[in-house]
Amino acid sequence: MNRAIVLGGGFAGVLAAAVLARHADDVILIETDRYPPGPRPRRGLPQSHHNHVLVTGGARALQALLPGTLEALYARGAHRRGLSGGALILAAQGWFRRIDTEAYLVACSRGLLDQVVRERALGGGAVSVWEGAQALGLVGDATRVTGVRAGRVGGPARTFQADLVVDATGRRSKAPRWLAELGAPDVEEAGVTSGLAYSTRVYQAPPELAGGVPAIMIHPGPAQGRPAQGATLFPIEDDRWVVTLTGTRGGEPPADEQGFTRFARCLRHPIVADLMAAATPLGGVRPYRDTANRRRFYERARLPAGFLATGDAVVAVNPVHSHGMSVAALGALRLDRELTRRGFDPSLTPDLQAAVAAEAETSWRMAVRQDGGHAGGADERREASAFERRIRTRLARAALSSPELAADLFHAQTLIQAEARTDTSSRSRALRGEPDPLLSSPEAIAQFPGLHAWWLSRSIPPVTPVRVPVGGEIPRR
Amino acid sequence: MSLRINDSVVWQETAEGVSLYDIDTGAFTTLNATAARIWMLIDSDGEREPIVSKLSQEFAGGNTAVSRRIRADVQDFLGTMIERKLVEEHPA
Ligand SMILES: Cc1cc2nc3c(=O)[nH]c(=O)nc-3n(C[C@H](O)[C@H](O)[C@H](O)COP(=O)(O)OP(=O)(O)OC[C@H]3O[C@@H](n4cnc5c(N)ncnc54)[C@H](O)[C@@H]3O)c2cc1C
């Protein structure tokens, strides 16, 4: 009889527990919070007030782990939006044309996502769930973890034996300290600040737009040296929208109602502010500031057997990438495959840890490169030259209208394709040919007839078209 | 044998040397001033011998040891560029 204990019943912990239940005799999930009865945010998950979309790679992994989950989410009101076919996106270089790629995102509240996943992952009863219980430390020595110390929140701690302990307590995991208390070596950590702040508010959509809007993303402009400010609006269940405003240091979005509205209005295009003005706010504005990229390199340390970490406890990236849950799902799927191949053997945890870390690698590299940090590997980061910036700008501009380049971009962003690009002829055309004309703002909005009709019907005069100039000519050699 | 910069390379002379972008691999490369000089000679002369002799004239000042080193360095550089498919060599 073998036993696995999972610490933390968030997205990663619930999926890890569901996987372990297929390979171990007894699985216990210890979660500090009490799960809410409905699809609502909860205290142990402060980020659940903010937008949470599942990207393609994560959606596919979730479906592979728990078949039927996506259908259940759609049945409960989640929306699937193609990238860029179902999304109105103002990127740094201009508006995207609607292009169908394999990439998409699933938008609903984090509360709904968690509830549906919990029902499907834990509903069978194979996992014993201890809500309102807190993990307080590990038991064992420097060679072997043999259990955990845990107790009711505020109550006395007891020891529970386990063959495998999985830490899924999220960004603020205390596992490195708990391991050190057993005499295990330090776990190398890397942190790259993003400087990004979030402010989020949920709205009831006006009836004429309920369910019908595309995902909307207003990215920061190309201006260097100024704070990067942007916004997203995602349709979620019950005809609601979740609006998140983002800003880097010096340009943080306010958390008061008037400031929130003003910030949205001053972005490169006011479409999000216009939609907010037509909708009914549900509750106040919620700020979130802890957005740094953080990684614990468990796979590099000689850790005691019988210990494994997953989810944000291992790699937590700047939420602007919308990767965390998808990486957790990919990690759980990989764990399932490794356990199926090798069997439930706690002495294999170093290999399992390396496999889980590998699933997070693409997301980590993407996030830290964007936030100007080191990925923690052998390759040192260098500043992009003016030439490099011009080439990238030109390619980014071409991706606005090129099906091949857009697919490359969105496939990488949604974790279904490594960053290596496949199509070279479109890149060649992008660098040597004349760029396609940019869409004006009215043209971009007109790609979505329902939204366009509503936008034209408002009494407010239309705004000046945005055509973002791109700097620098590329040599035609 | 003639040398030719691969069609998949977009490049530009810069203050520091030459910057290259390989469309096939997505890799950026920066050549320092010396490598950049060889690169420019590949573009203008397109053959090993003229490249070596021009560089020898410029830098060796009749010193055969230096000329030999220049020849070896040019061959090395061309070998790397051909291996990385940034330069192609064809029968003349
Ligand atoms: C503002 C914001 C927006 C985000 N948006 C997205 C998005 O759009 N898409 C996306 O994929 N990801 C997004 N993320 C990331 C996502 O929230 C995380 O990646 C995801 O929640 C990771 O899940 P986890 O289970 O590892 O950690 P968490 O979800 O943080 O869960 C940890 C759990 O452990 C419990 N716990 C903590 N300590 C203990 C203890 N000692 N004992 C027992 N239980 C404990 C907590 O109560 C909690 O339930 C966002 C993050 C933030 C901050």
Ranges of residues in chain A whose predicted pLDDT is under 50: 378-380, 468-473, 475-476
pLDDT confidence of residue A375: 61
As for ligand 1, residues whose beta carbon falls within 6 Å of it are A 7-13, 30-33, 44-45, 47, 50-53, 134-135, 168-171, 198, 288, 311-313, 319, 322-326, 328
Q: What percentage of chain A's residues is helix, strand, coil (to nearest 5)?
A: 35, 25, 40
pLDDT confidence of residue A419: 59
Nearest CA in chain B to A419: B26
How many Å lie between the centroid of ligand 1 and the Cα of residue A243?
Answer: 20
The rounded distance, in Å, linking the Cα atoms of A372 and A374 is 7
Inter-chain residue contact B21 with A420, CB threshold 8 Å: no
- The predicted complex's ipTM stands at 0.86
First to last CA, chain B: 5
Percent of chain B at pLDDT > 90 equals 75
Q: Specify the DSSP class assigned to residue A306.
A: T
Among A387, A424, A477, beta carbon nearest to B24: A424
> Would you state the structure tokens that stand for residue A134, as one six-digit string?
């807190």
pLDDT confidence of residue A473: 47
pLDDT confidence of residue A40: 87
How many Å lie between the centroid of ligand 1 and the Cα of residue B63?
Answer: 69
Inter-chain residue contact A424 with B11, CB threshold 8 Å: no
How many Å lie between the centroid of ligand 1 and the Cα of residue A45?
Answer: 6
pLDDT confidence of residue A328: 98
Inter-chain residue contact A431 with B8, CB threshold 8 Å: no
- Spell out which residues of chain B touch residue A391, defining contact as CB-CB under 8 Å: 10, 21, 28
- Hey, is the C-beta of B21 within 8 angstroms of any chain A C-beta? yes
Instruction: Give the CATH superfamily of A3-191+292-370.
Output: FAD/NAD(P)-binding domain (3.50.50.60)
- Spell out which residues of chain B touch residue A420, defining contact as CB-CB under 8 Å: 26
pLDDT confidence of residue A247: 94
pLDDT confidence of residue B92: 73
Nearest CA in chain B to A424: B24
The rounded distance, in Å, linking the Cα atoms of A441 and A20 is 50
The label of the residue with tokens 């030719």 reads B4
Q: Hey, which residues does A147 pair with through a beta bridge? A: A139, A161
> Would you state the structure tokens that stand for residue A353, as one six-digit string?
């840890």
Inter-chain residue contact B28 with A385, CB threshold 8 Å: yes
How many Å lie between the centroid of ligand 1 and the Cα of residue A193?
Answer: 18
Which whole number is the average pLDDT over B44-65? 90
Inter-chain residue contact A391 with B10, CB threshold 8 Å: yes
Q: What is the SS3 assignment for A49? A: helix
At B20, the pLDDT band (50, 70, 90 cuts) reads very high
- pTM value? 0.91
- Spell out which residues of chain B touch residue A422, defining contact as CB-CB under 8 Å: none
pLDDT confidence of residue A464: 54
How many Å lie between the centroid of ligand 1 and the Cα of residue A183?
Answer: 28
> Would you state the structure tokens that stand for residue B68, as one six-digit string?
């030999």
The rounded distance, in Å, linking the Cα atoms of A258 and A252 is 14
The rounded distance, in Å, linking the Cα atoms of A394 and A400 is 10
Inter-chain residue contact A477 with B14, CB threshold 8 Å: no
Going from N- to C-terminal start, the domains of chain A cover: 3-191+292-370, 197-290+439-457
The rounded distance, in Å, linking the Cα atoms of A356 and A307 is 13
Among A385, A431, A432, beta carbon nearest to B19: A385
- pLDDT > 70? residue B26: yes
Going from N- to C-terminal start, the domains of chain B cover: 2-86
pLDDT confidence of residue A470: 46
Inter-chain residue contact A388 with B19, CB threshold 8 Å: yes
Q: Which residues of A366-377 are buried (b: 16+ CB within 10 A; e: fewer)?
A: bbbeebebebbe
- Closest to A294 measured CA to CA, from A272, A319, A322, A259: A319
> Would you state the structure tokens that stand for residue A290, as one six-digit string?
């802890």
- Spell out which residues of chain A touch residue B10, defining contact as CB-CB under 8 Å: 391, 431-432, 474-475, 477
- Spell out which residues of chain A touch residue B26, defining contact as CB-CB under 8 Å: 420-421, 427
- Hey, is the C-beta of B44 within 8 angstroms of any chain A C-beta? no
Q: What is the SS3 assignment for A36? A: coil
- Spell out which residues of chain B touch residue A418, defining contact as CB-CB under 8 Å: none
